[in-house]
Amino acid sequence: MWLQKRLTLSAKPRGFHLVTAEILGQLDELKQFKLGLAHLLLQHTSASLTLNENADPDVRTDLENYFRRLAPENQPYFRHTAEGPDDMPAHIKSALLGVSLTLPITNGRLALGTWQGIYHGEHRDQAGRRNLLVTLQGE
């Protein structure tokens, strides 16, 4: 059984955001799968999709502060600057963190660890909604 669906993630401020509920709220079809895999592709190059801690919101704040230092703006050697100082650092973060996840499905639910949640990393200062293409397969 195969199913493909285009979801939208709401526009968010720069930073890391827990979006497990936002995704599952648009993915009722998951219940049809007893065993399978869910593939998620964020179709952008200046945002990211990762798994991380779903409990303490400080983790998201600390991650944002860490990645601002890891990929700082206005490096003298940057040439791709026409779209603003936040753009090239956003491409770097997108490459480091990735834009795609493959997650197991068990009995109609994502089989994540107890503390795992899906993070939408928004790396632009002013971003609109983001497209997420979901592919479900299984039995």
Q: Which two tokens stand for residue 122?
A: 């928004």
Write the CA distances from 34 to 39, 40, 105, integer angstroms: 16, 18, 7
Q: What are the φ and ψ backbone dihedral angles of 17, each rounded to 5 degrees? A: -130, 135
Map residue 104 onto helix, strand or coil: strand
Min dist CB 22 to a second copy, Å, is 19
Among 26, 32, 101, 108, binds a second copy (CB under 8 A): 101
Residue pair 63/16 in contact (Cβ under 8 Å)? The answer is: yes
Q: Which is nearer to a second copy, 21 or 35 (CB)?
A: 35
User: Which residues 48-67 are close enough to bind a second copy by CB under 8 A?
Assistant: 50-53, 56, 58-59, 61-63, 65-66
Stretch that binds a second copy, among 7-15, 20-28, 38-46 (CB under 8 A): 38-46
Residue closest to 82 by CA, chosen among 95, 91, 69, 71 = 91
Interface positions with a second copy (CB under 8 A): 2, 4, 35-37, 39, 41-45, 50-53, 56, 58-59, 61-63, 65-66, 70-71, 75, 77-80, 82, 88, 91-92, 94-104, 106, 111-116, 119, 131, 133, 135, 137-139
